[in-house]
Amino acid sequence: MTNQVKGVIALIICSLMGMFYLQSYYAWQVYQQHSLALQGEIDEVLLAAVSKAQEEKNLRIKERVDESLRNPELVSYAFLRTAEGPKIATIDPITGETYSSLTYPGEAEPEPSLKEMQEYLIKRNDAFMAKGTYMYWSPLIAERLEDYMKNTRLSAAFLNQQFEKELKSRNIEGGFRVLFTSEEFEDEDFAQGELRSLAWNVHTEEYDHLALVISNPAFEILKRMGLILGSTVLVLMLIVLSFGALGIILHRQKKLSALKDDFIDNVTHELLTPLATLKLALETLNRDPDFSQSPYLEISNQQTHRMAEVVDHILQVSFVEEGKAGLRMESVELVGLIQEVANYHRTMAQKPIALSLELPSEILVWSDHHHLNNVLHNISGNAVKYGPAKGAEIGINLKTEGDILLLQIWDNGRGIPAEEQEAIFDKFHRVQRGGIHDVKGLGIGLYYSRSILRQLGGDIRLAQSSAAGSCFEITLPLIHTAVI
């Protein structure tokens, strides 16, 4: 799987995770908003129910006061004609003292009966009480009124009925309960997950405080979210399905990649025996004077050598990927190894090569001699292959930065396009020119080089590239530097 593919997959996964998070966060915020709105409605229900219960309590007080106003043992009435007009006076039946008087409408002809005076006074008393004014029509009625107001409490049963009606009128479901207490409410009075109203000081038959509690507020909130909740669940399901589909695709791709690698490894190993036989036959012919000068024999030697290099490169990559590179870490004298590789390419290249080496007398690195030799051959070989036909120029420079060795390899090749510069280290990737590959190769040299260098504690990168050439930088752990 190439780095570009991995990057795209990582971007898709991050996008899906971001969408999942944003959708979940949005749903949570909507849930919180509905929770606050429901809290406000519960408080409104409490106040409305208490107000209705207070009205019911006042009605009971009014009925008892009305009965008292009709009781001749508590109050007597007298009709008076005064300069200010006709009036009805209330009299204490025990002392006979006039306690209060109230203007009677009209001319009052004939005089109103006792019942009419009682009903008129009751009517006016109801009007006063509706405004919150309580009239003491006689000392006995005053005593009774104070007793009524003191002992008449809100009805708990009536409150429960009003809570049920108010909740139903607002379509609030999920169950409720009303808490009554004589003391202030404590946190342990409420179960976890319940939604409670504000606590209210109110006098009922037995208690002084009450609160309305919704037992299952989540049900009500989710019901109100409706379409938003449905769309959120749908989007989250799509995201989960996308994750699942992506996982299946990745599994299939990994399986296909494994099959491809197995096929390449099997074919490569199958070629080893015929290659060894062919090389032995060619060596025998090289020693025969009748065939040693044949141009066809030279071509066969070159092609056999090339095929052997291809098989060797594929096997190297296979071992690196499986972690079976068999590293033999040791002190490697790098300067001599670089000169050996440079001399090899100067001798074997089919084009002129100009080498520029800026090397100290000795550099020791902690590495694997065999694999490090392969890396240097890969980079130098690319510089030769992709260099101009008139002649390749290669520059090699060594310098140290603390405990790190920096090896720079320059060439005068045609450069690597910017969009391809990171992909060149991917397995089997080759830079195309006009849709064709005009230089032979497998596209595994740089992949192998980066993989093995990282196992060796180093790395490789393309430092710069242009039409005038490219520069690769290799880093390795340093042991000792000898000054020139």
Q: With a cut of 50, which residues of the chain have pLDDT below it?
A: 324, 435-437, 481-484
Q: What is the pLDDT of residue 366?
A: 85
CA distance readout (Å), 352 to 338, 355, 380: 19, 10, 14
Angstrom distance (rounded) from CA 200 to CA 15: 50
What angle do helix axes 3-69 and 217-225 make, rounded to 10 degrees?
120
Angstrom distance (rounded) from CA 264 to CA 427: 13
Angstrom distance (rounded) from CA 338 to CA 395: 11
CA distance readout (Å), 159 to 170, 191, 224, 358: 17, 22, 26, 98
CA distance readout (Å), 422 to 419, 436, 446: 7, 20, 11
Q: Which amino acid is it at 313?
A: H
Closest-CA residue to 358 (of 399, 405, 391): 399
Tokens for 357, please give them.
Answer: 């080496």
Q: What is the pLDDT of residue 474?
A: 92
Angstrom distance (rounded) from CA 234 to CA 236: 5
Tokens for 472, please give them.
Answer: 């690769």
- Asked if residues 325 and 455 have their Cβ atoms less than 8 Å apart, the reply is yes
Closest-CA residue to 472 (of 428, 427, 421, 433): 421
* 261-288 tens-digit pLDDT: 666 666 666 666 777 777 777 777 777 7
- The DSSP H or E segment spanning 194 is none
Helix (H, G, I), strand (E, B) or coil at 52: helix
**Cβ-proximal residues to 87 (8 Å cutoff; 6+ apart), any chain:** 79, 80, 81, 101, 102, 103, 104
Q: Which amino acid is it at 254?
A: K
**Cβ-proximal residues to 172 (8 Å cutoff; 6+ apart), any chain:** 38, 41, 42, 45, 214, 220
Cβ neighbour number for residue 293 with a 10 Å cutoff: 8
User: In the chain, what is the greatest distance between 2 CA atoms, to the nearest angstrom?
Assistant: 164
Q: What is the pLDDT of residue 87?
A: 86
Helix (H, G, I), strand (E, B) or coil at 232: helix
Q: What is the pLDDT of residue 108?
A: 63
Angstrom distance (rounded) from CA 288 to CA 282: 10
Q: Are strands 404-411 and 362-368 parallel, antiparallel or unpaired?
A: unpaired
Q: What is the pLDDT of residue 268?
A: 64
- Asked if residues 292 and 423 have their Cβ atoms less than 8 Å apart, the reply is no
Tokens for 387, please give them.
Answer: 């260099």
- Asked if residues 134 and 128 have their Cβ atoms less than 8 Å apart, the reply is yes
